[in-house]
Amino acid sequence: MKKHLLSIDDVSADDVATLFETAAEMHDVQRRQVKKLPALRGRTVINLFFEDSTRTRSSFEIAGKWLSADTINITGKGSSASKGESLRDTVLTIAAMGVDALVMRHAASGSALQVSQWVDAAVINAGDGTHEHPSQALLDAYTLQRRFGTDGRLGSLEGRHVVLVGDLTHSRVFRSNVLCLTKLGAQVSVVAPPTLMPSGVEPWSKELGFATSYDLDEVLPTADAVMMLRVQRERMSGGYFPSAREYTVGYGLTRDRLATLGPDVPICHPGPMNRGLEIAADAADAAQSLVLDQVSAGLAVRMSILYHLLAGEGSTS
Amino acid sequence: MCAQPAPDQAPDDPSAAAAPPHRVVLDARDITRALTRISHEILERNKGAGDLVLLGIPSRGVPLARRIAARIKEVEGVDVPTGSLDVTMYRDDLRKHPARGPQPTAVPPGGIDDKTVVLVDDVLYSGRTVRAALDAMNDIGRPAVVRLAVLVDRGHRELPIRADHVGKNLPSARTERVMVRLADLDDVEGVWIAGSAPDTPDTPGAAGASGEAGTGATA
């Protein structure tokens, strides 16, 4: 494992396997009465979030606490960043307090890489603009491997057809997921309206070997898993599609589309969900929906990430 | 007891005499005999198989615990709950090595509260693994009694810890390596000792090796 987790490119397929094995053990800790392991005693983890978050921030915080690290949350609002302090000054100030890891979310793509060059602490990218969100991709892949496995053992994604649908242009989850899923041998298709298909996706899709489509109903019948992505209204200045209703008709996982899916085809959504827009309530709450499994898996995977980055001696490879 | 090397050391053990590169200490049949004796000792000490729980320390303690359970079943006709207890997260040398992935912890359905727990490991060396196991057990429950069974006790304790049931006392030098291989996990079965001449056999307290290797591969 490298020192930082900035991109899925930072981990090899072997690293992912190691992370998931550990995550599977961490998953069991969630069922214990005493949810505490001493592995990171005396380590300090700072959650530095310049963008809003519920599950990523709280799951990194709980993950750190269950490993006995001291975790502290700093948000953009309410910190000196709102007084005009630069990112560099904020980060150097925090680093000067002697922290071991910075879990960081920021609206600027590349900010995590930039920060990793300023500080000695391990930097974990919890979302940088529209670039990457590696821990989300890892937990999505882990959730699917668990779903495709038997007896609590992890299954394989080799050859599985995973369909990602939604606002790809603005989605860091999409970018990390495509990298992660192709690394694990999955056959990936991404579907979006032409306005939300990232420009320049063609050479990238050829290089990584994933398919692109504008027609959800054409791709859906062969899906082994469906991953709905959020329509990120906060990153849009309008004009990507005529109306929410039109988006739903073309690209939402509606009740009608749910009926065409096999009952064994898992449905994922990284959250937060826009119910009724990209995913119908029936689909979100269906028996085959893994939305809440993703949350508990997220905790296990983040414990594993923190453990592997912080527990050993200067864990650079 | 902390300063005493393996307390019930067999005086007739010839291991300190010569040290060729790899010497067989126990072969497969010796291991079977040792586990049979340990099984009987556990039953004798516990006055039967009531309230017993066997917890193997991964990786090689786990098949050893299973074999002891099988032997107890032959003798008493009772299925003793058997599980595994990983100590990776509780080791005091966690930061001296690159992070190692934890092994499975599987506590039998009945739990360990108010039970007689017998920890099972392959090699007892510094005692640090056992200390970590006692800490790990703290987070799982509160047994009435905890005992320790090991296949090989090679001495050099760094903590006041002693085994209750020992398959073989093996005086060794710190520079030597004790290797345990079990048919359940490896292609071969046996216990070997290898390394340089045993100049200071079994003398605890001297500066030197920091601790036993976690998994028993080179304990």
**Which residue does chain A place closest to B93, by CA atoms?**
A312
A225 part of a folded domain: yes
pLDDT digits (tens, 9 = 90+) for A281-311: 999 999 999 999 999 999 999 999 999 999 9
Residue numbers in A near B95 (CB within 8 A): 311-313
| Short-list A174, A133, A125, A128, CA closest to A5 | A125
Phi then psi for B132, rounded to 5 degrees? -60, -40
pLDDT digits (tens, 9 = 90+) for A80-95: 877 888 999 999 999 9
Other beta carbons within 10 Å of A148: 17
In this structure, are A259 and A129 located in the same domain? Answer: no
B12 part of a folded domain: no
> Is-contact B87 B132, C-beta < 8 A?
yes
pLDDT digits (tens, 9 = 90+) for B95-147: 888 888 899 999 999 999 999 999 999 999 999 999 999 999 999 999 999 99
pLDDT at residue A72, rounded to an integer: 94
Q: Do B98 and A312 touch (CB under 8 A)?
A: yes
pLDDT at residue B22, rounded to an integer: 82
Q: Do A25 and B97 touch (CB under 8 A)?
A: no
In this structure, are A79 and A193 located in the same domain? Answer: no
**Which residue does chain B place closest to A68, by CA atoms?**
B89
- Judge residue A238's burial from the number of C-beta atoms within 10 Å of its C-beta, 0-12 exposed, 13-18 middle, 19 or more buried: exposed
pLDDT at residue A226, rounded to an integer: 98
Helical packing angle, A13-29 and A134-148, nearest 10°: 70
> Is-contact A131 A73, C-beta < 8 A?
no
Strands A161-165 and B177-181: unpaired
Which of A72-76, A156-160, A281-285, B200-204 has the least mean pLDDT? B200-204
Across the interface, of B86, B99, B135, the residue whose CB is closest to A311 is B99
Mean pLDDT for the stretch of residues B84-88: 95
CATH number at residue B181: 3.40.50.2020
User: For residue B190, is pLDDT > 70?
Assistant: yes
For residue A37, the SS3 value is: coil
B190 part of a folded domain: yes
Expressed as residue numbers, the domain containing B96 is 22-194
A221 part of a folded domain: yes
Alpha carbon distance A148, A154 (integer Å): 7
pLDDT class of A273 with cuts at 50, 70, 90? very high
Mean pLDDT for the stretch of residues B180-187: 92
Other beta carbons within 10 Å of A199: 6
Within 8 A by CB and 6+ apart from A311, the residues are A39, A40, A67, B89, B94, B95, B99
Residue numbers in B near A315 (CB within 8 A): 98-99
State CA A83 to chain mean position distance.
Answer: 30
Q: Which of A19, A37, A154 is the mutation pick for testing B, counting most B CBs within 10 A?
A: A37
A210 part of a folded domain: yes
Other beta carbons within 10 Å of A195: 13
Q: Do A313 and B98 touch (CB under 8 A)?
A: yes
Within 8 A by CB and 6+ apart from A4, the residues are A10, A112, A116, A122, A123, A124, A125, A309
Other beta carbons within 10 Å of A82: 11
pLDDT digits (tens, 9 = 90+) for A194-226: 999 999 999 999 999 999 999 999 999 999 999
- What sign does the dihedral B96-B102-B107-B113 (CA atoms) show? positive
Q: Do B100 and A34 touch (CB under 8 A)?
A: no
In this structure, are A102 and A226 located in the same domain? Answer: no
Q: From its phi and psi, is residue A221 left (phi > 0), alpha (psi between -120 and 50) or beta?
A: alpha
Q: Do A37 and B139 touch (CB under 8 A)?
A: yes
Tokens describing residue B54: 């066997």
Expressed as residue numbers, the domain containing A74 is 8-133+295-310
pLDDT at residue B17, rounded to an integer: 42
Alpha carbon distance B77, A219 (integer Å): 58
Alpha carbon distance A190, A214 (integer Å): 9
Query: Position A269: which residue type?
Result: H
Q: From its phi and psi, is residue A91 left (phi > 0), alpha (psi between -120 and 50) or beta?
A: alpha
In this structure, are A179 and A252 located in the same domain? Answer: yes
In this structure, are A165 and A277 located in the same domain? Answer: yes
B69 part of a folded domain: yes
**Which residue does chain A place closest to B85, by CA atoms?**
A25
- Judge residue B28's burial from the number of C-beta atoms within 10 Å of its C-beta, 0-12 exposed, 13-18 middle, 19 or more buried: middle
In this structure, are A271 and A155 located in the same domain? Answer: yes
**Which residue does chain B place closest to A34, by CA atoms?**
B139
**Which residue does chain B place closest to A314, by CA atoms?**
B98
pLDDT digits (tens, 9 = 90+) for B153-172: 999 999 999 999 999 999 99
pLDDT at residue B212, rounded to an integer: 40
pLDDT class of B196 with cuts at 50, 70, 90? low
**Which residue does chain A place closest to B86, by CA atoms?**
A25
B123 part of a folded domain: yes
In this structure, are A184 and A112 located in the same domain? Answer: no
Give pTM, 2 decimals.
0.86
A316 part of a folded domain: no
Measure A39 CA to nearest chain B CA, in Å.
5
A317 part of a folded domain: no
**Which residue does chain A place closest to B104, by CA atoms?**
A25
Residue numbers in A near B139 (CB within 8 A): 32, 34, 36-37
- Mean pLDDT over all residues of chain A? 93
B109–chain A Cβ distance below 8 A for any pair: no
B2 part of a folded domain: no
A144 part of a folded domain: yes
Across the interface, of B96, B101, B140, the residue whose CB is closest to A21 is B101
> Is-contact A100 A45, C-beta < 8 A?
yes
How many distinct structural domains can be found in chain B? Answer: 1
User: For residue A69, is pLDDT > 90?
Assistant: yes
Query: Position B81: which residue type?
Result: P
| Short-list A142, A140, A163, A177, CA closest to A8 | A177
A1 part of a folded domain: no
In this structure, are A26 and A14 located in the same domain? Answer: yes
Alpha carbon distance B21, B16 (integer Å): 13
User: For residue B209, is pLDDT > 70?
Assistant: no
Alpha carbon distance B89, A34 (integer Å): 14
- Judge residue A310's burial from the number of C-beta atoms within 10 Å of its C-beta, 0-12 exposed, 13-18 middle, 19 or more buried: buried
pLDDT at residue A237, rounded to an integer: 66
CATH number at residue A41: 3.40.50.1370
How many distinct structural domains can be found in chain A? Answer: 2
- Mean pLDDT over all residues of chain B? 83
| Short-list A38, A32, A37, A31, CA closest to B140 | A32
User: For residue B197, is pLDDT > 90?
Assistant: no
Mean pLDDT for the stretch of residues B15-28: 69
In this structure, are A98 and A125 located in the same domain? Answer: yes
User: For residue B53, is pLDDT > 70?
Assistant: yes
pLDDT digits (tens, 9 = 90+) for A235-263: 666 678 888 899 999 999 999 999 999 99
A63 part of a folded domain: yes
> Residues of A at the B interface (Cβ-Cβ below 8 Å)?
1, 18, 21-22, 25, 28, 32, 34, 36-39, 67, 307-313, 315
Alpha carbon distance A251, A249 (integer Å): 6
Alpha carbon distance B150, B38 (integer Å): 9
In this structure, are A264 and A304 located in the same domain? Answer: no
Residue numbers in B near A313 (CB within 8 A): 95-98
Across the interface, of B89, B99, B140, the residue whose CB is closest to A312 is B99
pLDDT class of B2 with cuts at 50, 70, 90? very low
Structure ipTM? 0.77
pLDDT class of A78 with cuts at 50, 70, 90? confident
Q: Which of B84, B88, B89, B113 is the mutation pick for testing A, counting most A CBs within 10 A?
A: B89
User: For residue A232, is pLDDT > 90?
Assistant: no
In this structure, are A196 and A141 located in the same domain? Answer: yes
Q: Do A312 and B86 touch (CB under 8 A)?
A: no
pLDDT digits (tens, 9 = 90+) for B26-35: 999 999 999 9
Q: Do B105 and A21 touch (CB under 8 A)?
A: no
Within 8 A by CB and 6+ apart from A265, the residues are A223, A224, A225, A226, A288
pLDDT at residue A152, rounded to an integer: 75
Across the interface, of B95, B100, B139, the residue whose CB is closest to A36 is B139
Measure A11 CA to nearest chain B CA, in Å.
15
pLDDT at residue A314, rounded to an integer: 61
In this structure, are A70 and A195 located in the same domain? Answer: no
